[in-house]
Structure 1
């Protein structure tokens, strides 16, 4: 069954069009998992669009949101890597960009649609609060980066080659740490803006809950984020939640490990599949 469609109903489209999936949020959507051999080989009919708008095979990392490798030199300046990714063994330091959940989602979507190509649109940016995902919102770590605006630009370019069938969202760690009382209203606005600016008010939107492994002393406002997701699932048509309980971090109590990201990609797809099939 072709899945170029709306939530709870399937709508026909040209077989030559890609099935597009927009990946947005912060670092746990961008992906910080360590790469294994399977993450570094092409998948049949799964591509992603680069920042220069070229389509290439979906080999990790598909989201290159940060070049900062997480350390400083003796003068306190950030050390920037020309290669934002490396395959890692447990005893080798991980650079910032890594394995995410989107590629697993894309693999499953392609498997269920053997005559179609899946096009991933990676636009997540690590460390971004929800304010950065409003029109004109700025990345707190890079004043030249406007995450929402760039995501729309990239998605519209991708739409020349296909139809967006899902928006995958994982965000909220930044807001859980600093408290954003109006998080729910902002998230609702994010959903409305994406649908409006991408020209389809029926695009299904999938939001993952925050992980259960965060230090409560740091993420002491996590309930604001999770409650917003739960409530919007009931209030917004085509808004779906994805469970993150029992998943593991990569050793930093912040980012999902590779196995958990693969599992999370499967969970997003399971919810998506139920949504489009009704």
Structure 2
């Protein structure tokens, strides 16, 4: 049984810089940074070698090779998490023995915030929506939960959740297109997660678009790129009905936030679920969600997933 307290962590190393203001960076520079990112995320390190010193002491979980209900976490900084961690941490951010995350070196380890510390390395990560989401889903799978609770991967076994962090702050949606390093890394990490112990991919949690509000052409083309991204994920992961839960923007870096939000609302694909973050509290920078907001968003995402899961045809 894991402890309900978090140990002190070494400072997160800044080993990579991704363009936080992509509209002001040359295209070639963004492509070079994306290529560096692909090396870090897509290629697993040699056995026994960890890329990020802050996670060297994180033990492999005893549930590592059990079947899991998996969730791919993708997008930019509000998915990676910038919420300031209070002391003590709220219960939805504490470890749970059956809640795991896929580390950058593709080991299954205990899920403890910040979940993206060894993925989104250009900034110090904080609290995001995935931990409260996962705690709520785990609660729904307990014996005393309602009959509409999520199905368990192994017959008679308690459900084990596996989170697959892939979000990187400051990224535009074109950087998530098929063939781009971020997309290829997400697909490769998800395949590795399924291969190590089996199980199934429950959904993609997608929170991105703030960087696409800077240029009007990016904002206007967002909907088509999002639909292509969903179709590519489903094709490359072999899951034509894969649920994708996208978060409607609560803020933006530019003046075209409403255009992106309308595109998100109007994605015309089955099993794409819209969860609106507008109105949730923002931090002082008026761009990132506060810790309180991330807690609320995690609950909203879980509710959307559980309602969808209880209503869909089990044959699909």
Q: How does the TM-score come out when normalised to structure 1?
A: 0.77
Matched, 1:259 2:292: yes
1:247 counterpart SS class: coil
How many Å separate the matches in 1 of 2:215 and 2:127?
27
Q: How many Å apart are 1:223 and its aligned residue?
A: 1.9
Q: Does 1:250 align with 2:289?
A: no
Is residue 2:96 matched to residue 1:27?
no
- Alignment partner of 1:38: what SS? coil
Determine which of 193, 198, 203 is the counterpart of 1:158. 193
1:105 corresponds to which residue? 133
1:105 Cα deviation (Å)? 0.9
- When the two structures are superposed, what TM-score results if normalisation uses the length of structure 2? 0.68
Report the equivalent of 2:228. Answer: 189
Deviation of 1:224 after TM superposition, in Å, equals 2.1
For residue 68 of structure 1, report the CA deviation from its aligned partner. 3.5
Q: Distance in 1 between matches of 2:223 and 2:77?
A: 20
Evaluate the alpha carbon distance shift between residue 209 and residue 45 of structure 1 in structure 2; reply closer, same or farther with a 3 A threshold: same
CA–CA distance in structure 2, aligned partners of residues 59 and 236 of structure 1: 33
CA shift, 1:245, in A, is 2.6
Q: Which residue of 2 aligns with 1:207?
A: 246
Say yes or no: does 1:271 pair with 2:304.
yes
**Which residue of 2 is the match for residue 81 of structure 1?**
none
Q: Distance in 1 between matches of 2:137 and 2:162?
A: 10
Following superposition, the deviation at residue 35 of structure 1 comes to 1.2
- Hey, what's the Cα distance between the residues in 2 that align with 1:66 and 1:246? 26
The secondary structure found in structure 2 opposite 1:260 is helix
5+ residue gaps, structure 2 = 1-65, 143-157, 312-316
CA RMSD of aligned residues (A): 1.5
| 1:215-262 deviation per Cα after TM superposition (whole angstroms, max 9, x unaligned) | xxx521112211111111xx2110010011321112111100111001
SS in 2 for 1:166: strand
Query: What is the aligned partner in structure 2 of residue 120 from structure 1?
Result: 163
User: In the alignment, what sits opposite 2:61?
Assistant: none
* Alpha-carbon distance change, 66 to 237 in structure 1, aligned in 2, over 3 angstroms: closer
For residues 170 and 132 of structure 2, what CA distance do their matches in structure 1 show?
23
1:173 aligns with one of 210, 226, 229: 210
Give the alignment partner of residue 43 of structure 1, picking from 65, 78, 96.
Answer: 96
SS of the residue corresponding to residue 266 of structure 2 reads: helix
Runs of 4+, deviation exceeding 4 Å: none
Aligned residues: 223
Deviation at 1:41?
Answer: 3.5
Q: CA deviation at 1:112?
A: 1.4
